[in-house]
Structure 1
Amino acid sequence: MGLLRLAALALGLVLPASAQRIAAPQVRVAPVPFVVPVAPAALHTPALSQALALPKPVLPQASLMSAPSLPAAPVPEARAAAAPGPGPGGGPAAAAATTPKTVKLIMMGPPGSGKTTYGKRLSAEYGAVHISVGDLLRAYAVAHPEVAARMQTGELVDSALVLGLVRERLTRPDVAEKGYILDGFPRRLNEALAMEEWMAGVGVDAVVHLEVSHEELMRRISSRGRADDTPETFKNRMKVYREQTMPVLERFRNSTGVLEPDVSGSDPETNYARLRSILEKALKN
């Protein structure tokens, strides 16, 4: 308030009404306008965006062709030749270099012909992965009693199941690296036809059919001691083999060709030597 009024109050005087209305000059403050909130996206008008835009630095663009590339891994066929040896004149590396590629075989034959026995020996000799369809099915049947019951009778298991098991096993990395020896497949013509569609990327070097006399088959079956090797089961298996697997063999004979060594002898070593000799000649061609 004014100095005059303060003095009057101090002296106990009452000022006239006109004097009381004298007040200090007031400062007028401009009213603040009410702003309606606007969503951030609405502020990005073209003009505002252009005004706020900062110049972008121009960076050199690297050419895709100029980027260094990693060396490709050697394919399995070239690994033995690329491996350094102990020196000129031979050694393990030189011996390995004489095997130009992996081995990929299909082993066929009647029950008891020795597909798995000889397949394992060839696998150890060539370093290929041995795949026994019988072993795959027996492992699967442990958790699937209906499959085990079908195998006990000597009947063939559903083709869809067999194709799934074989295809999954053949697509594993160890097969691509080492090759394979597949025994007991295909057993039906429809399996052979389905296999031809997806085996193109895997490849097959040779189809081997083991020839064994009926008498020798009976002797082997009775002596190997499997739970599903009963005389009745063997009879059913031979019937199924003649009716369903022999047409597959005929198809291979007319297309890729079939190696058919006679392994009816009672001496396993002689039989294996005969098989090995025929196979080596075929692989060199």
Structure 2
Amino acid sequence: MNLILMGLPGAGKGTQAEMIVDHYQVVHVSTGDMFRDAMSQQTPIGLKAKSFIDQGELVPDEVTDAIVKERLSQSDIQQSGYMLDGYPRNLEQAQALTQINQELKQTLDAVIDIQVPTQILIDRLSGRFICRNCGATYHKINHPTKVPGTCDRCGGHEFYQRDDDQPATVKNRLEVNLKMNTPLIDYYQKAGVYHEVDGNQNIDQVFQIIDKILSQLH
């Protein structure tokens, strides 16, 4: 079985990825892992990617696509199938993946998109705050202080948020991701492999929905 896992930051994609891998024994292929593997093995395409990364530049699509093809052609994936995470990121990469699958005689079986309302994602991602005195980290939803406004560790009363945890920054990040995902959703809906999953439930309920979709593909 071959699938793509989609979801905005904070949607719980990482947790569901682990559960899918445990249950279905597919190979979890994340963009970061692919780049690290290709660079550590010093494959020609890995060295090409490294030259861009070392200069602080974005790796061009054609180099990323070549790294994906290199990874998807390896024996573990030929045997067990793949779950792509973080790729494709745009329509051009999605079209390249279709070509890669054809060349490797593979079939993309499903695209699972974990959807959570944007405001809930903003609350999840911007909920972190830090004690200015001792650096203890809290979250307004998942890990609040025991006494409101008082640090559990040092008793301090001053807290702050990092810039990238500020609601406005988080909202902007989500909007950028949403914009990138929209053409992908359209592309895979037309291909008949797109499945939207309500991620605004507990972890087990979300996985039950995913499991129901994937079990029908076997």
Q: Shorter-chain-normalised TM-score: which range?
A: 0.5 to 0.7
Confirm or deny that 1:192 pairs with 2:94.
Answer: yes
Q: Is the 8 A contact 1:150 1:157 kept in 2?
A: no
In the alignment, what sits opposite 1:107? 5
Could you tell me which amino acid in structure 2 is paired with residue 199 of structure 1?
A: N
Relative contact order: is structure 1 or structure 2 higher (C-alpha 8 Å, sep ≥ 6)?
2
In the alignment, what sits opposite 1:80? none
Q: 2 CA distance for matches of 1:149 and 1:236?
A: 26
Q: CA deviation at 1:209?
A: 1.2
Q: TM-score, normalised by structure 1?
A: 0.52
Q: 2 CA distance for matches of 1:262 and 1:242?
A: 16
219 and 132 in structure 1: CA distance in 2 versus 1, 3 angstrom threshold? farther
CA RMSD of aligned residues (A): 3.5
In the alignment, what sits opposite 1:213? 117
Q: 1 CA distance for matches of 2:60 and 2:127?
A: 28
Q: 2 CA distance for matches of 1:216 and 1:145?
A: 39
In the alignment, what sits opposite 1:117? 15
Q: 2 CA distance for matches of 1:148 and 1:215?
A: 36
Q: Is the 8 A contact 1:116 1:183 kept in 2?
A: no
SS in 2 for 1:260: strand
Q: 1 CA distance for matches of 2:164 and 2:60?
A: 20
Matches within 5 A, 1:164-243: 164-200=66-102, 201-222=105-126, 230-231=165-166, 234-243=170-179
Q: CA deviation at 1:222?
A: 4.4
137 and 150 in structure 1: CA distance in 2 versus 1, 3 angstrom threshold? farther
Unmatched runs of 5 consecutive residues or more in structure 1:
1-102
Could you tell me which amino acid in structure 1 is paired with residue 175 of structure 2?
A: K
Q: 2 CA distance for matches of 1:278 and 1:228?
A: 38
Q: 1 CA distance for matches of 2:126 and 2:39?
A: 23
Equivalent position to 1:279, from 204, 214, 217: 214
In the alignment, what sits opposite 1:131? 29
Q: 1 CA distance for matches of 2:39 and 2:174?
A: 21
239 and 214 in structure 1: CA distance in 2 versus 1, 3 angstrom threshold? closer
Q: 1 CA distance for matches of 2:32 and 2:165?
A: 16
In the alignment, what sits opposite 2:180? 244
What are the superposed Cα offsets for residues 26-67 of structure 1, whole Å, 9 maximum, x if unpaired?
Answer: xxxxxxxxxxxxxxxxxxxxxxxxxxxxxxxxxxxxxxxxxx
Q: Count residues with an aligned counterpart.
A: 175
Q: 2 CA distance for matches of 1:144 and 1:168?
A: 15
Unmatched runs of 5 consecutive residues or more in structure 2:
41-48, 129-136, 138-161
Q: TM-score, normalised by structure 2?
A: 0.65
Q: Is the 8 A contact 1:104 1:180 kept in 2?
A: yes
Q: Is the 8 A contact 1:263 1:275 kept in 2?
A: no
In terms of fraction of residues, the more strand-rich structure is 2
Q: Is the 8 A contact 2:52 2:59 kept in 1?
A: no
148 and 269 in structure 1: CA distance in 2 versus 1, 3 angstrom threshold? farther
In the alignment, what sits opposite 1:7? none
Q: 2 CA distance for matches of 1:146 and 1:172?
A: 24
Q: Is the 8 A contact 2:4 2:112 kept in 1?
A: yes
Matches within 5 A, 1:68-107: 103-107=1-5
